[in-house]
Structure 1
Amino acid sequence: MLKRVNLEHILFLDIETVPQQKNYKDLDDTTKQLWELKTQYQRKDEFTPEEFYDRAGIWAEFGKIICISVGYFKIQGDIRNFRTTSFYGDEVTVLKEFKTLLETHFNNTHHLLCAHNGKEFDFPYIARRMIINSIDIPFKLNLFGKKPWEVPHLDTLELWKFGDYKTFTSLKLMAHVLGVPSPKDDIDGSQVRDVYYKENDIDRIITYCEKDTVTVAQIFLRLRNEPLLPEEEILSV
Structure 2
Amino acid sequence: MLHHIPLSKILFLDIETVPEVEKFEHLPPKVQSLWEKKSRYQRQEDISAEDFYERAGIWAEFGKVVCLSVGYFLIHPQREFRVTSFTGSEPELLTAFNNLITQHFDKKDQLLCAHNGKEFDFPFLARRMLIHGIALPDKLNLFGKKPWEVPHLDTLELWKFGDYKHYTSLNLLTHVLGIPSPKSDISGDEVARVFYEEQNIARIKNYCERDVVAIAQIILKFKGESLLDPEEIKSV
2-structure distance, mates of 1:56, 1:29:
16
> 2:183 maps to what in 1?
184
- Equivalent runs, 1:25-174 vs 2, <5 Å: 25-77=25-77, 79-174=78-173
Alpha-carbon RMSD: 0.7
Deviation of 1:167 after TM superposition, in Å, equals 1.3
Please tell me the residue identity of whatever aligns with 1:55: R
> 1:11 maps to what in 2?
11
1-structure distance, mates of 2:196, 2:46:
25
TM-score by length of 2: 0.99
Deviation of 1:41 after TM superposition, in Å, equals 1.1
> 1:209 maps to what in 2?
208
Higher mean displacement: 208-217 or 35-44: 35-44
The superposition leaves residues 95-130 of structure 1 with CA deviations (integer Å, 9 ceiling, x where unpaired) of 000000000000100110000000000000000000
Deviation of 1:46 after TM superposition, in Å, equals 3.0
Please tell me the residue identity of whatever aligns with 1:80: R
Please tell me the residue identity of whatever aligns with 2:143: F
SS at match of 1:4: coil
SS at match of 2:193: helix
The superposition leaves residues 23-71 of structure 1 with CA deviations (integer Å, 9 ceiling, x where unpaired) of 1111011110110111111112131111111110000000000010000
SS at match of 1:41: coil
SS at match of 1:50: helix
Find runs of 4+ consecutive structure 1 residues off by over 6 angstroms.
Answer: none
SS at match of 2:97: helix
Please tell me the residue identity of whatever aligns with 1:184: K
Deviation of 1:154 after TM superposition, in Å, equals 0.3
TM-score by length of 1: 0.98
SS at match of 1:101: helix
1-structure distance, mates of 2:67, 2:225:
29
Deviation of 1:89 after TM superposition, in Å, equals 1.3
SS at match of 1:43: coil
> 1:196 maps to what in 2?
195
SS at match of 2:133: coil
Please tell me the residue identity of whatever aligns with 1:6: P
The superposition leaves residues 120-174 of structure 1 with CA deviations (integer Å, 9 ceiling, x where unpaired) of 0000000000000111101010000000000000000000000001110000000
Please tell me the residue identity of whatever aligns with 1:167: H
2-structure distance, mates of 1:159, 1:150:
16
1-structure distance, mates of 2:92, 2:67:
10
> 1:23 maps to what in 2?
23
